[in-house]
C-alpha cells in the first residue's frame, strides 16, 4: 500500500501549471494555523498561477492546522479546556518527509502570543520557534519563505493590545537578515485603516482573527507580487475565474487528505480520505478544471 501511495503522490503530475515560483519549483507547501487551513489565499495563488502562467507542472499543498503555534505556547483553558494548542514541532518532520517540497511558505504568529499583551518571554518563544522552523527546512535543502501574520481586530475589548503584539512580531520577522519574508501584515493593516476611515464598521475578520475572502485576497496579492516581481492588479478578480469553484473542491479534498496522511494532535478535525482515494477524486476534478481553462 505504501508503494501505491508513493507512486500516486509523486509519480503523477496533474497539478497547477506555471512559472510563478520559478522553473526549479514543482512542489509548494503552505504551513500555518487556521487562517492557512481556511485556504482562501492558498487557493487564490494556485488559481492565479493556473490562469496566468504556463510551463513546469507544480503542486500546491495546504497543510495548515487550526489552533497551531510554532512557539509551543497554549493558554490555560484553551478550547474550553478540551485540548492545548497543537505545536508544529510535533509534526513538521512527518510533513516534510511526506510532501517533499521544493518551497515552504510559512505563516505563524496569530496564535503564538496566545492573545495576551506583548511579553518578553512569549516573544522569545515565537522567535525561537521561527528560527527552529527555518533551520529545519533549510537543513533539508528546501527554500523557505516566511509570511508575516495577518491583522488582529479587537471585537470585544478582550485583547485590545494584541494588534500591537502582531505588529512587533511582523517587524521582527521582516528584519531577519538573509531571510525571505513576505509582508502581508502591514499592507493589510494599511488597507484596513483606509477602509475604516470611510466606514468605521468595516472589518476584514468578523471574529477579529479569521479573515474573510477579501483578507485572503490581500494575502494572495502580496505572495503573487513577491514571486511574480510585478504588481498584481487583478487580485480581487481571482474568485471570479470560472474554474475557481472546482479548484476549491480540490483544495478542500486534498488538505484533509494530507493531514490524515501526515498526522496531528488537533482533535475535532474533519477526517480526510485516504490519500489513494483522494488522489483518484482529484484526478476527476483536475479534468474539470482543465476543461474550464480551455
Q: Where are the domains of the chain?
A: 2-293
Q: What is the pLDDT of residue 55?
A: 63
- What is the Cα–Cα distance from 246 to 31, expressed in whole angstroms? 22
Dihedral class, residue 142 (left if φ above 0, else alpha if ψ from -120 to 50, else beta): beta
What pTM, to 2 d.p., does this model score? 0.92
Percent of the chain with pLDDT over 90: 84
Q: What is the pLDDT of residue 71?
A: 98
Helix %, strand %, coil % for the chain, to 5?
50, 10, 40
Q: What is the pLDDT of residue 105?
A: 98
- What is the Cα–Cα distance from 188 to 217, expressed in whole angstroms? 10
Tell me the pLDDT tens digit for each residue of 22-71: 888 999 999 999 999 999 999 999 999 998 876 666 899 999 999 999 99
- What is the Cα–Cα distance from 22 to 228, expressed in whole angstroms? 9
Q: What is the pLDDT of residue 164?
A: 96
Of 29, 54, 26, residue with least CA distance to 258: 29
Q: What is the pLDDT of residue 56?
A: 60
Tell me the pLDDT tens digit for each residue of 75-126: 999 999 999 999 999 999 999 999 999 999 999 999 999 999 999 999 999 9
The CATH architecture annotation of domain 2-293 reads: 3-Layer(aba) Sandwich (3.40)
Of 212, 194, 293, residue with least CA distance to 40: 212
Confidence of residue 157 (pLDDT cuts 50, 70, 90): confident
Give the DSSP per-residue string, 53-81: --SSEEEEEE---TT-BSS----TTGGGG
- Burial call 241-270: b when 16+ CB within 10 Å, e when fewer: bebbebbbebbebbbbbbbbbbebebeeee
Q: What is the mean pLDDT of residues 10-17?
A: 42
- Cell numbers representing residue 4 in the block: 501505491
Q: Cell numbers 511558505 correspond to what residue?
A: 105
Tell me the pLDDT tens digit for each residue of 179-229: 999 999 999 999 999 999 999 999 999 999 999 999 999 999 999 999 999
Amino acid at each position: 500500500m505504501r508503494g501505491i501511495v508513493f507512486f500516486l503522490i509523486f509519480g503523477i503530475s496533474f497539478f497547477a501549471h506555471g512559472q510563478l515560483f520559478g522553473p526549479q519549483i514543482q512542489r509548494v507547501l503552505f504551513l500555518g494555523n487556521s487562517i492557512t487551513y481556511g485556504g482562501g489565499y492558498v487557493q487564490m495563488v494556485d488559481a492565479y498561477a493556473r490562469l496566468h502562467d504556463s510551463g513546469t507542472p507544480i503542486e500546491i499543498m495546504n497543510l495548515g492546522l487550526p489552533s497551531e503555534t510554532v512557539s509551543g505556547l497554549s493558554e490555560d483553558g484553551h478550547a474550553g479546556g478540551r485540548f492545548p494548542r497543537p505545536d508544529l514541532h510535533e509534526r513538521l518532520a512527518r510533513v516534510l518527509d511526506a510532501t517533499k517540497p521544493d518551497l515552504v511558505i510559512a505563516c505563524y504568529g496569530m496564535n503564538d502570543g496566545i492573545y495576551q499583551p506583548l511579553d518578553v518571554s512569549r516573544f522569545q518563544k515565537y522567535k525561537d520557534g521561527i528560527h527552529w522552523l527555518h533551520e529545519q527546512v533549510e537543513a533539508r535543502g528546501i527554500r523557505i519563505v516566511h509570511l508575516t501574520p495577518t491583522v488582529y481586530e479587537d471585537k470585544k475589548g478582550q485583547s485590545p493590545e494584541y494588534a500591537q503584539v502582531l505588529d512587533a512580531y511582523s517587524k521582527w520577522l521582516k528584519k531577519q537578515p538573509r531571510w525571505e519574508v513576505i509582508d502581508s501584515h502591514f499592507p493589510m493593516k494599511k488597507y484596513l485603516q483606509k477602509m475604516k476611515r470611510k466606514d468605521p464598521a468595516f472589518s476584514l475578520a468578523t471574529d477579529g482573527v479569521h479573515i474573510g475572502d477579501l483578507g485572503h485576497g490581500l494575502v494572495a496579492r502580496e505572495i503573487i507580487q513577491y514571486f511574480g516581481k510585478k504588481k498584481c492588479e487583478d487580485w480581487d478578480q481571482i474568485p471570479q475565474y470560472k474554474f475557481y469553484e472546482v479548484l476549491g473542491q480540490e483544495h478542500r479534498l486534498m488538505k484533509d487528505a494530507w493531514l490524515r496522511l501526515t498526522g496531528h494532535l488537533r482533535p475535532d478535525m474533519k477526517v480526510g480520505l485516504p490519500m489513494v482515494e483522494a488522489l483518484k477524486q482529484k484526478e476527476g476534478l483536475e479534468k474539470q478544471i482543465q476543461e474550464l481553462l480551455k
